[in-house]
Amino acid sequence: MSLRPYREIARRKSRQIRVGSVLVGGDAPISVQTMTNTLTTDVKGTLEQIRRAADAGADLVRVSCPDEDSTKAFKQIAKESPVPLIADIHFHYKRGIEAAEAGAACLRINPGNIGSHDRVRDVVKAAKDHGCSMRIGVNAGSLDKHLLDKYGEPCPEALVESALEHAKLLEDNDFFEFKIAVKASDVFLAVAAYQGLAKACDYPLHLGITEAGGLIGGTVKSSIGIGSLLWAGIGDTLRVSLSADVAEEVKVGFEMLKALDLRHRGVRIVSCPSCARQGFDVIKTVEALENRLSHVRAPVTLSILGCVVNGPGEARETMVGITGGGADSHKVYIGGSPDHNVDGKSMVDHIVDLVEARAAEIEAAKQKGS
Protein backbone atom coordinates (compact mmCIF):
# COMPACT_ATOMS: atom_id res chain seq x y z
CA MET A 1 0.00 0.00 0.00
CA SER A 2 1.31 3.46 -0.90
CA LEU A 3 2.40 5.68 1.97
CA ARG A 4 1.02 8.62 -0.01
CA PRO A 5 -2.36 7.49 -1.35
CA TYR A 6 -3.41 11.11 -1.92
CA ARG A 7 -0.88 11.22 -4.78
CA GLU A 8 -2.34 8.28 -6.68
CA ILE A 9 -4.28 8.97 -9.89
CA ALA A 10 -6.39 6.13 -11.28
CA ARG A 11 -6.29 6.57 -15.05
CA ARG A 12 -9.42 5.92 -17.09
CA LYS A 13 -9.23 2.59 -18.90
CA SER A 14 -9.08 3.12 -22.64
CA ARG A 15 -8.25 0.99 -25.61
CA GLN A 16 -4.78 1.42 -27.06
CA ILE A 17 -3.81 2.59 -30.53
CA ARG A 18 -0.50 3.11 -32.24
CA VAL A 19 0.72 6.38 -33.74
CA GLY A 20 3.84 5.29 -35.54
CA SER A 21 6.24 4.14 -32.83
CA VAL A 22 4.20 5.79 -30.06
CA LEU A 23 1.49 3.90 -28.17
CA VAL A 24 -1.48 5.98 -27.07
CA GLY A 25 -4.03 4.83 -24.51
CA GLY A 26 -4.16 1.74 -22.36
CA ASP A 27 -1.19 1.66 -20.00
CA ALA A 28 1.06 3.73 -22.29
CA PRO A 29 2.60 6.93 -20.89
CA ILE A 30 0.62 10.08 -21.60
CA SER A 31 2.21 11.53 -24.73
CA VAL A 32 2.91 15.19 -25.40
CA GLN A 33 2.54 16.73 -28.82
CA THR A 34 2.68 20.09 -30.57
CA MET A 35 2.07 21.47 -34.06
CA THR A 36 4.31 23.24 -36.55
CA ASN A 37 3.37 26.73 -37.68
CA THR A 38 5.67 26.93 -40.69
CA LEU A 39 4.46 26.56 -44.26
CA THR A 40 4.63 22.82 -44.88
CA THR A 41 6.10 23.50 -48.31
CA ASP A 42 9.09 24.97 -46.46
CA VAL A 43 10.63 21.56 -45.83
CA LYS A 44 13.81 22.85 -44.19
CA GLY A 45 12.00 25.26 -41.87
CA THR A 46 9.37 22.69 -40.91
CA LEU A 47 11.97 20.03 -40.13
CA GLU A 48 13.95 22.50 -38.05
CA GLN A 49 10.85 23.25 -35.99
CA ILE A 50 10.03 19.56 -35.60
CA ARG A 51 13.55 18.87 -34.36
CA ARG A 52 13.35 21.67 -31.80
CA ALA A 53 10.04 20.28 -30.58
CA ALA A 54 11.54 16.79 -30.37
CA ASP A 55 14.54 18.12 -28.43
CA ALA A 56 12.09 19.65 -25.96
CA GLY A 57 10.52 16.20 -25.56
CA ALA A 58 7.62 16.10 -28.05
CA ASP A 59 6.49 12.54 -28.72
CA LEU A 60 4.34 13.54 -31.72
CA VAL A 61 4.14 16.56 -34.00
CA ARG A 62 1.20 17.65 -36.15
CA VAL A 63 1.80 19.20 -39.56
CA SER A 64 -0.81 20.95 -41.73
CA CYS A 65 -1.60 19.49 -45.14
CA PRO A 66 -4.01 22.02 -46.70
CA ASP A 67 -3.10 21.41 -50.36
CA GLU A 68 -1.40 18.98 -52.71
CA ASP A 69 1.95 20.80 -52.57
CA SER A 70 1.93 20.38 -48.80
CA THR A 71 1.31 16.63 -48.94
CA LYS A 72 4.13 16.33 -51.47
CA ALA A 73 6.46 18.15 -49.10
CA PHE A 74 5.11 16.09 -46.19
CA LYS A 75 6.62 12.94 -47.72
CA GLN A 76 10.17 14.27 -47.36
CA ILE A 77 9.42 15.74 -43.95
CA ALA A 78 8.07 12.42 -42.67
CA LYS A 79 11.19 10.59 -43.88
CA GLU A 80 13.52 12.89 -41.94
CA SER A 81 11.39 13.58 -38.85
CA PRO A 82 12.77 12.27 -35.53
CA VAL A 83 9.22 11.66 -34.26
CA PRO A 84 5.97 10.32 -35.80
CA LEU A 85 3.93 12.95 -37.61
CA ILE A 86 0.21 13.66 -37.63
CA ALA A 87 -1.12 15.10 -40.87
CA ASP A 88 -3.70 17.81 -40.24
CA ILE A 89 -6.54 17.30 -42.74
CA HIS A 90 -9.81 19.21 -42.68
CA PHE A 91 -12.24 18.89 -45.56
CA HIS A 92 -10.46 17.42 -48.60
CA TYR A 93 -10.45 13.65 -48.51
CA LYS A 94 -7.71 13.42 -51.15
CA ARG A 95 -5.30 15.16 -48.80
CA GLY A 96 -5.97 12.40 -46.29
CA ILE A 97 -5.18 9.70 -48.83
CA GLU A 98 -2.06 11.52 -50.00
CA ALA A 99 -0.83 12.06 -46.44
CA ALA A 100 -1.30 8.39 -45.56
CA GLU A 101 0.67 7.45 -48.66
CA ALA A 102 3.33 10.05 -47.78
CA GLY A 103 4.13 8.49 -44.41
CA ALA A 104 1.79 10.09 -41.88
CA ALA A 105 1.52 8.09 -38.68
CA CYS A 106 -1.90 9.59 -38.00
CA LEU A 107 -4.53 11.66 -39.80
CA ARG A 108 -6.29 14.45 -37.96
CA ILE A 109 -9.60 14.31 -39.80
CA ASN A 110 -13.31 14.46 -39.10
CA PRO A 111 -14.86 11.82 -41.37
CA GLY A 112 -18.23 13.56 -41.37
CA ASN A 113 -16.67 16.64 -42.98
CA ILE A 114 -15.12 15.03 -46.05
CA GLY A 115 -18.27 14.14 -47.98
CA SER A 116 -19.85 10.87 -49.06
CA HIS A 117 -19.56 7.44 -47.49
CA ASP A 118 -17.39 6.44 -50.44
CA ARG A 119 -14.88 9.15 -49.55
CA VAL A 120 -14.81 8.03 -45.93
CA ARG A 121 -14.28 4.46 -47.09
CA ASP A 122 -11.39 5.52 -49.36
CA VAL A 123 -9.62 7.41 -46.58
CA VAL A 124 -10.09 4.50 -44.18
CA LYS A 125 -8.66 2.12 -46.80
CA ALA A 126 -5.61 4.35 -47.23
CA ALA A 127 -5.14 4.48 -43.46
CA LYS A 128 -5.38 0.70 -43.18
CA ASP A 129 -3.07 0.12 -46.13
CA HIS A 130 -0.38 2.37 -44.68
CA GLY A 131 -0.70 1.60 -40.97
CA CYS A 132 -2.13 5.01 -40.16
CA SER A 133 -4.27 5.85 -37.15
CA MET A 134 -6.67 8.80 -36.97
CA ARG A 135 -7.67 11.56 -34.62
CA ILE A 136 -11.21 12.88 -34.59
CA GLY A 137 -10.98 16.55 -33.66
CA VAL A 138 -14.22 18.19 -32.57
CA ASN A 139 -14.00 21.92 -31.85
CA ALA A 140 -16.62 24.13 -30.24
CA GLY A 141 -15.87 26.82 -32.80
CA SER A 142 -16.75 24.65 -35.80
CA LEU A 143 -19.64 22.45 -34.71
CA ASP A 144 -21.91 20.98 -37.37
CA LYS A 145 -24.94 23.13 -38.19
CA HIS A 146 -27.47 20.45 -37.27
CA LEU A 147 -26.01 20.28 -33.76
CA LEU A 148 -26.06 24.03 -33.35
CA ASP A 149 -29.69 24.02 -34.50
CA LYS A 150 -30.47 21.25 -32.04
CA TYR A 151 -28.71 22.69 -28.99
CA GLY A 152 -28.76 26.40 -29.82
CA GLU A 153 -25.10 26.93 -28.91
CA PRO A 154 -21.92 24.95 -28.31
CA CYS A 155 -22.38 22.85 -25.20
CA PRO A 156 -20.83 19.68 -23.76
CA GLU A 157 -23.64 17.50 -25.08
CA ALA A 158 -23.20 18.88 -28.61
CA LEU A 159 -19.45 18.25 -28.60
CA VAL A 160 -19.88 14.69 -27.36
CA GLU A 161 -22.64 13.95 -29.85
CA SER A 162 -20.50 15.29 -32.68
CA ALA A 163 -17.55 13.14 -31.63
CA LEU A 164 -19.65 9.99 -31.45
CA GLU A 165 -21.22 10.70 -34.85
CA HIS A 166 -17.77 10.95 -36.44
CA ALA A 167 -16.65 7.83 -34.57
CA LYS A 168 -19.64 5.88 -35.89
CA LEU A 169 -18.56 6.58 -39.47
CA LEU A 170 -15.19 4.98 -38.77
CA GLU A 171 -16.71 2.09 -36.82
CA ASP A 172 -19.07 1.38 -39.73
CA ASN A 173 -15.96 0.96 -41.89
CA ASP A 174 -14.44 -1.48 -39.39
CA PHE A 175 -11.81 1.05 -38.30
CA PHE A 176 -11.07 1.52 -34.62
CA GLU A 177 -7.52 2.89 -34.57
CA PHE A 178 -8.45 6.39 -33.55
CA LYS A 179 -8.40 8.84 -30.66
CA ILE A 180 -10.82 11.70 -30.03
CA ALA A 181 -10.57 15.33 -28.95
CA VAL A 182 -13.44 17.66 -27.96
CA LYS A 183 -11.73 21.03 -27.61
CA ALA A 184 -13.04 24.44 -26.68
CA SER A 185 -11.39 27.71 -25.68
CA ASP A 186 -13.75 27.88 -22.70
CA VAL A 187 -12.26 25.81 -19.87
CA PHE A 188 -15.61 24.86 -18.33
CA LEU A 189 -17.03 23.73 -21.68
CA ALA A 190 -13.97 21.71 -22.64
CA VAL A 191 -13.67 19.95 -19.28
CA ALA A 192 -17.39 19.06 -19.19
CA ALA A 193 -17.23 17.75 -22.76
CA TYR A 194 -14.23 15.53 -22.01
CA GLN A 195 -15.89 14.24 -18.84
CA GLY A 196 -18.99 13.31 -20.84
CA LEU A 197 -16.98 11.69 -23.63
CA ALA A 198 -14.88 9.71 -21.14
CA LYS A 199 -18.08 8.10 -19.87
CA ALA A 200 -19.55 7.54 -23.33
CA CYS A 201 -16.70 5.57 -24.94
CA ASP A 202 -13.41 3.83 -24.29
CA TYR A 203 -11.39 5.42 -27.09
CA PRO A 204 -8.17 7.19 -26.11
CA LEU A 205 -8.66 10.91 -25.60
CA HIS A 206 -6.44 13.74 -26.82
CA LEU A 207 -6.66 16.67 -24.40
CA GLY A 208 -6.46 20.35 -25.19
CA ILE A 209 -7.88 23.77 -24.45
CA THR A 210 -7.91 25.26 -27.92
CA GLU A 211 -6.87 28.85 -28.66
CA ALA A 212 -5.76 29.12 -25.04
CA GLY A 213 -3.81 32.35 -25.56
CA GLY A 214 -0.26 33.56 -25.02
CA LEU A 215 2.49 31.95 -23.00
CA ILE A 216 1.33 33.04 -19.55
CA GLY A 217 -2.44 33.22 -19.99
CA GLY A 218 -2.55 30.11 -22.17
CA THR A 219 -0.42 28.16 -19.73
CA VAL A 220 -2.75 29.04 -16.87
CA LYS A 221 -5.93 28.17 -18.81
CA SER A 222 -4.45 24.93 -20.11
CA SER A 223 -3.13 23.92 -16.72
CA ILE A 224 -6.54 24.42 -15.14
CA GLY A 225 -8.42 22.56 -17.87
CA ILE A 226 -6.01 19.83 -18.89
CA GLY A 227 -4.66 19.51 -15.36
CA SER A 228 -8.07 18.92 -13.81
CA LEU A 229 -8.82 16.22 -16.39
CA LEU A 230 -5.47 14.50 -15.87
CA TRP A 231 -6.01 14.63 -12.11
CA ALA A 232 -9.33 12.85 -12.66
CA GLY A 233 -7.55 10.15 -14.68
CA ILE A 234 -8.84 11.36 -18.05
CA GLY A 235 -6.48 11.78 -21.00
CA ASP A 236 -4.00 9.73 -23.01
CA THR A 237 -2.20 12.40 -25.01
CA LEU A 238 -2.21 16.20 -24.89
CA ARG A 239 -1.28 19.40 -26.62
CA VAL A 240 -0.97 22.79 -24.93
CA SER A 241 -2.15 25.30 -27.55
CA LEU A 242 -0.21 28.52 -27.05
CA SER A 243 0.48 31.58 -29.15
CA ALA A 244 4.14 30.90 -28.45
CA ASP A 245 7.06 28.85 -29.69
CA VAL A 246 6.30 25.16 -30.23
CA ALA A 247 8.99 24.15 -27.76
CA GLU A 248 7.20 26.14 -25.05
CA GLU A 249 4.02 24.11 -25.66
CA VAL A 250 5.98 20.92 -25.08
CA LYS A 251 7.70 22.23 -21.95
CA VAL A 252 4.39 23.27 -20.40
CA GLY A 253 2.88 19.89 -21.23
CA PHE A 254 5.66 18.05 -19.47
CA GLU A 255 5.53 20.39 -16.48
CA MET A 256 1.85 19.47 -16.06
CA LEU A 257 2.64 15.76 -16.16
CA LYS A 258 5.55 16.16 -13.75
CA ALA A 259 3.46 18.19 -11.33
CA LEU A 260 0.86 15.40 -11.25
CA ASP A 261 3.49 12.68 -10.98
CA LEU A 262 2.22 11.15 -14.23
CA ARG A 263 5.40 11.33 -16.25
CA HIS A 264 8.93 12.44 -15.52
CA ARG A 265 11.31 13.94 -18.03
CA GLY A 266 14.05 16.41 -17.34
CA VAL A 267 14.84 18.42 -14.23
CA ARG A 268 11.99 19.34 -11.91
CA ILE A 269 13.00 22.42 -9.94
CA VAL A 270 11.47 23.31 -6.60
CA SER A 271 12.34 26.92 -5.81
CA CYS A 272 11.17 29.72 -3.55
CA PRO A 273 9.89 33.10 -4.79
CA SER A 274 12.73 34.73 -2.77
CA CYS A 275 12.56 37.33 -0.02
CA ALA A 276 14.80 39.53 2.12
CA ARG A 277 16.18 36.40 3.86
CA GLN A 278 17.71 34.99 0.68
CA GLY A 279 21.42 34.24 0.78
CA PHE A 280 21.76 34.48 -3.01
CA ASP A 281 19.71 35.76 -5.94
CA VAL A 282 17.22 32.92 -6.28
CA ILE A 283 15.43 34.26 -9.37
CA LYS A 284 18.59 34.69 -11.45
CA THR A 285 19.95 31.36 -10.22
CA VAL A 286 16.82 29.45 -11.24
CA GLU A 287 16.74 31.20 -14.60
CA ALA A 288 20.36 30.23 -15.26
CA LEU A 289 19.79 26.63 -14.19
CA GLU A 290 16.66 26.24 -16.32
CA ASN A 291 18.66 27.30 -19.36
CA ARG A 292 21.75 25.25 -18.63
CA LEU A 293 19.88 22.09 -17.63
CA SER A 294 17.31 22.10 -20.45
CA HIS A 295 19.26 19.33 -22.24
CA VAL A 296 18.85 16.87 -19.34
CA ARG A 297 16.23 14.22 -20.07
CA ALA A 298 16.58 12.02 -16.99
CA PRO A 299 14.04 12.73 -14.22
CA VAL A 300 16.14 14.64 -11.68
CA THR A 301 14.63 16.68 -8.84
CA LEU A 302 16.39 19.84 -7.71
CA SER A 303 15.54 22.31 -4.95
CA ILE A 304 16.80 25.90 -4.92
CA LEU A 305 15.89 27.71 -1.69
CA GLY A 306 17.28 31.06 -0.65
CA CYS A 307 17.40 30.51 3.11
CA VAL A 308 17.22 27.90 5.85
CA VAL A 309 13.56 28.43 6.80
CA ASN A 310 12.02 25.97 4.33
CA GLY A 311 15.22 25.04 2.54
CA PRO A 312 16.26 21.94 4.51
CA GLY A 313 12.76 20.47 4.40
CA GLU A 314 12.46 20.91 0.65
CA ALA A 315 16.02 19.67 0.08
CA ARG A 316 15.20 16.44 1.90
CA GLU A 317 12.64 15.66 -0.82
CA THR A 318 14.94 16.18 -3.85
CA MET A 319 17.98 14.46 -5.32
CA VAL A 320 20.06 17.63 -5.28
CA GLY A 321 19.35 20.74 -3.25
CA ILE A 322 20.87 23.96 -2.04
CA THR A 323 19.92 26.42 0.69
CA GLY A 324 21.24 29.94 1.10
CA GLY A 325 23.62 30.51 3.99
CA GLY A 326 25.57 33.36 5.44
CA ALA A 327 28.97 34.69 4.47
CA ASP A 328 28.51 33.49 0.90
CA SER A 329 28.60 29.84 1.95
CA HIS A 330 25.60 27.79 0.90
CA LYS A 331 24.66 24.27 1.96
CA VAL A 332 24.44 21.56 -0.71
CA TYR A 333 22.21 18.54 -0.11
CA ILE A 334 22.71 15.22 -1.88
CA GLY A 335 20.01 12.56 -1.68
CA GLY A 336 18.15 14.58 0.92
CA SER A 337 21.05 14.97 3.36
CA PRO A 338 23.37 17.94 3.96
CA ASP A 339 26.65 17.13 2.23
CA HIS A 340 28.97 20.13 1.76
CA ASN A 341 29.13 23.88 1.25
CA VAL A 342 29.71 25.91 -1.89
CA ASP A 343 30.45 29.60 -2.45
CA GLY A 344 28.18 31.85 -4.50
CA LYS A 345 30.63 32.39 -7.34
CA SER A 346 30.90 28.73 -8.29
CA MET A 347 27.41 27.69 -7.12
CA VAL A 348 25.63 27.49 -10.50
CA ASP A 349 28.47 25.58 -12.19
CA HIS A 350 28.63 23.23 -9.24
CA ILE A 351 24.89 22.50 -9.27
CA VAL A 352 24.99 21.86 -13.03
CA ASP A 353 27.80 19.34 -12.50
CA LEU A 354 25.90 17.58 -9.71
CA VAL A 355 22.66 17.35 -11.69
CA GLU A 356 24.41 16.12 -14.83
CA ALA A 357 26.21 13.46 -12.78
CA ARG A 358 22.95 12.32 -11.18
CA ALA A 359 21.27 12.24 -14.60
CA ALA A 360 24.11 10.10 -15.98
CA GLU A 361 23.65 7.64 -13.08
CA ILE A 362 19.93 7.39 -13.79
CA GLU A 363 20.49 6.81 -17.51
CA ALA A 364 23.17 4.20 -16.80
CA ALA A 365 20.89 2.34 -14.40
CA LYS A 366 18.10 2.48 -16.97
CA GLN A 367 20.35 1.02 -19.67
CA LYS A 368 21.53 -1.71 -17.31
CA GLY A 369 17.95 -2.57 -16.39
CA SER A 370 16.85 -2.82 -20.02
Q: Is 314 annotated as a binding residue?
A: yes
> Binding site annotation covers 155?
no
Does 272 count as an annotated binding residue? yes
Q: How far apart are CA 272 and CA 305, in angstroms?
A: 5
Q: Is 152 left (phi over 0), alpha (psi -120 to 50) or beta?
A: left
Amino acid making up residue 128: K
Residue 315's Cβ-count burial label (10 Å; 0-12, 13-18, 19+) is buried
d(CA 85, CA 217): 28
Annotated binding site: 272, 275, 307, 314
Annotated binding site for [4Fe-4S] cluster: 272, 275, 307, 314
